[in-house]
A = this chain, B = another copy of it.
Amino acid sequence: MGTTQLESAQEPKYWHLKTVLSEALDSEFSVGEILPNERDLAARFGVARATLRQALEQLELEGRLQRRRGVGTTVAPPRVGVSVGTTAQAWPGAADDSWGGLDGAEAVPPTAVARALGTADGEQVHTVRRSRIFAGRPVAAELLYIPAASVPGLPAIDTPTGALRARAVLRELQRSTLQGQDRSVELGSVGADDARELDRLPGAPVLVVTTRFYAGDRTAAVSVATYRADTCRLTFGDSGGVEIHQDPERHAS
């Protein structure tokens, strides 16, 4: 029995469902409100739960919904505009309170990073982990790689790991003259490690921002930051910038 027969040509059910739900979210729900549970929703629309879930997944990907196991599905607030521009915010070691959870250590970087840093394969570098907080919520997890050559004046460190060590490395890095940076953004999925830090399940989509800091013709440090793709909009504005809150789906018609 075809429910709505006139329309849809051969549009997939989950796609049509997503559209219907999206419109309902705009008109009948407010931010933070809890939706009916998946089994009820599926029954109401006359589809299998898996199909309903496919629609919800899309909406979550677009930042419209937030789902939490054991709790329910809620209407998500608009995406947060997070600056990753050439601001003091993003500069490692700069005075800055939007980053937290500092932790330092020493480790062998992935070969791709080692090549960019110009370090020998298997050579240890300083690493600093930190997480970016916005409105009380973690939005990003960053891993900085700093070769020993970039922090020549680093005093003897007695703590092998921890926030103290991280702060010492950052302080010393800041003293060296960072002259510029290359950045790239791509889609990734969060690993088990960062997942906990970002309060998401493994596999959740993230925007991976890879930054190469250079001083002279040398790469002074490499940062790999993973931003929650569902809640973040990365802004690269040179100035404050006007907000253009666009629905991430559909751009023409």
Determine the chain B residues whose CB is within 8 A of the CB of A129 once the complex forms.
252
Contact (Cβ within 8 A) A234 B189: no
CB <8 Å contact, B189 and A248:
yes
Contact A246 to B208, CB < 8 A, known contacts A187-B230, A236-B236: yes
| A200, CB-defined interface residue at 8 Å | no
List 29 A–B pairs whose Cβ atoms lie within 8 Å, in order of A's numbering: A15-B202, A58-B189, A62-B188, A62-B189, A81-B184, A110-B251, A112-B244, A112-B245, A116-B242, A143-B251, A181-B238, A182-B238, A183-B235, A183-B237, A184-B233, A184-B241, A186-B207, A186-B229, A186-B233, A186-B248, A188-B249, A191-B251, A193-B251, A208-B248, A208-B251, A210-B246, A212-B241, A212-B244, A219-B242
Count copies of this chain in the complex: 2
Min CB distance A108 to B, Å, is 10
| A106 interface residue per 8 A CB criterion | no
Q: How far is the CB of A230 from chain B (nearest CB, A)?
A: 7
Taking the complex as formed, is A250 at the interface, i.e. its CB lies under 8 A from any CB of chain B?
yes
Instruction: Annotate A1-27 by CB proximity to B: 1 below 8 A, 0 otherwise.
Output: 000000000000001001000000000
